[in-house]
């Protein structure tokens, strides 16, 4: 396709997004698709919470939404089976977790392995789990950020695609740090999805693999808060 050709929306890779809350990362993905920076189409947004603001964002963008209440299921496996069915209804090429606050079962992860990515608010492997910003401040870290990674059965441990890195400011408050990391997330997640849908990056043999042989296998790309993209910095 030449740059002047407008892609037929029905031929674009199909994206499903799973959320639980505000959906600011979802919005960044919606905006990236609308602007053509991500050559893909979000075809479905699923939330496990009815009051997730991200559902409103999706509806405003004309995207099909679904709500599946995890509290109505006997266990995690039953919820994930219903979730997998709902995802399959949309036949997505890729599934993105954007603040989806449920741990996925290995069965669901295996079903979408290599097609499933997540954004996590720390420089993994540092600080998997919750309260990442507070933990970075408590540890007096000088650097912090966010990671987009392929999802594997171990929580927050899949191979990284890209990391957004910032320097923690002296005396920085939790809220300030959190908002800076969020802003970085809104840069790195659309970029990661664009790489994924164009085949620039893929999951192979448990690793992140780059199409460009000049890029080091199994190393994430780096985006710094105050600088443009630097490949394999």
Active site positions, annotated: 120
Whole-angstrom distance, CA of residue 190 vs CA of residue 27? 10
Under DSSP, the state recorded for 67 is E
Residue nearest ligand GRF (C-beta atom): 99
Cα(23)–Cα(52) distance, rounded to whole angstroms? 8
How many residues belong to the site for ligand GRF (CB under 6 A)? 13
Asked if 158 is part of the footprint of ligand GRF (rule: CB under 6 A), the reply reads no
Block residue for tokens 């408050």: 173
Q: How far is the CB of 46 from ligand GRF (least distance, A)?
A: 13
Identify which of 37, 44, 43 has the alpha carbon closest to the alpha carbon of residue 7. Answer: 37
Compare residues 80 and 185 and give the one whose CB is closer to ligand GRF.
185
Site string for ligand GRF, 168-197 (x = CB under 6 A): -----------------x------------
Subset of residues 116 to 135 that bind ligand GRF, contact rule: CB under 6 A: 119-121
In 3D space, the residue among 22, 59, 17, 16 whose CA is nearest the CA of residue 182 turns out to be 22
Q: In this chain, which of 13, 23, 92, 145 binds ligand GRF, going by CB under 6 A? A: 23
24 interacts with ligand GRF by CB under 6 A? yes
- Binding of ligand GRF by 201 (CB under 6 A): no
186 close to 35: Cβ distance less than 8 angstroms:
no
CA–CA distance, 189 with 74 (Å, rounded to integer): 33
Q: For residues 82-111, which are near ligand GRF according to CB under 6 A?
A: 98-99
Helices (runs of H) and strands (runs of E) counted in the chain: 6, 10
Binding site for ligand GRF (CB under 6 A): 21-26, 98-99, 119-121, 146, 185
């Amino acid at each position: 396709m030449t740059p002047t050709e407008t892609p037929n929306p029905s031929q674009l890779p199909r994206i499903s997004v799973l959320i639980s809350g505000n959906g600011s990362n979802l919005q960044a993905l919606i905006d990236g698709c609308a602007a053509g920076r991500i050559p893909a189409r979000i075809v479905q947004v699923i939330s496990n919470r009815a009051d997730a603001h991200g559902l409103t964002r999706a509806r405003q963008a004309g995207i099909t939404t679904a709500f599946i209440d995890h509290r109505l299921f006997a266990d995690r496996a039953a919820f994930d089976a219903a979730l997998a069915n709902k995802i399959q209804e949309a036949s997505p090429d890729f599934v993105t977790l954007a603040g989806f606050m449920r741990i996925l079962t290995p069965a669901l992860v295996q079903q979408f392995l290599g097609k499933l990515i997540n954004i996590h608010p720390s420089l993994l492997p540092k600080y998997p789990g919750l309260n990442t910003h507070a933990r970075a401040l408590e540890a007096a870290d000088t650097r912090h950020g966010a990671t987009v990674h392929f999802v594997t059965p171990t929580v927050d441990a899949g191979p990284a695609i890209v990391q957004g890195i910032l320097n923690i400011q002296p005396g920085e408050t939790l809220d300030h740090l959190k908002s800076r990391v969020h802003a970085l997330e809104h840069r790195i997640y659309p970029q990661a999805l664009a790489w994924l849908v164009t085949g620039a990056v893929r999951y192979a043999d448990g690793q992140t693999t780059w199409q460009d042989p000049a890029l080091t296998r199994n190393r994430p790309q780096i985006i710094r808060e105050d600088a443009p993209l630097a490949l394999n910095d």
